[in-house]
């Protein structure tokens, strides 16, 4: 189970770095932090998993989407 989750993390991280569209990369980062929340839950750390799900998938995605929205107008 842990090995499969780590493999998914690796694939998602490579996708985030290599994809061209910034918006898709931000959404993939949110999926990445969702999977790391599942990993923390499997490792018996539910508190850390809740923090990761709330901060990683909620607030940091807000900040990244806001930044992408305000930097793309100057030309891609």
Partner 1 sequence: MKKTNILDVVSRKLSPFILLFGVYLVTFGHISPGGGFQGGVALASSLLLILLAQGPRVLASSFPIGRISVIEVLGYGLFLLAGLGGFLLGLGFLSPLLPPPGTIFILNIVIGAKVGAGITLICWHLFQEGEEQE
- Please report, as residue ranges, which positions from 1 to 30 form the binding site for partner 1 (by CB under 8 A): 23
Q: Which is nearer to partner 1, 11 or 23 (CB)?
A: 23
CA dihedral 29, 35, 41, 42 (to 10 degrees): -140
Among 39, 51, 74, 75, binds partner 1 (CB under 8 A): 51
Q: Which is nearer to partner 1, 35 or 60 (CB)?
A: 60
58 lies in the binding site for partner 1 (CB under 8 A): yes
Place of tokens 């990761």: 52
Q: At what angle do helices 2-18 and 22-42 cross, to 10 degrees?
A: 170
Among 69, 74, 75, 76, binds partner 1 (CB under 8 A): 69
């Amino acid at each position: 189970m842990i090995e499969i989750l780590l493999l998914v993390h690796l694939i998602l991280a490579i996708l985030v770095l290599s994809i061209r569209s910034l918006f898709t990369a931000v959404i993939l980062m949110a999926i990445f932090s969702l999977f790391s929340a599942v990993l923390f839950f499997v490792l018996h750390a539910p508190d850390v998993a809740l923090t990761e799900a709330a901060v990683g998938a909620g607030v940091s995605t807000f900040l990244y989407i806001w930044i992408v929205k305000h930097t793309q107008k100057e030309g891609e």
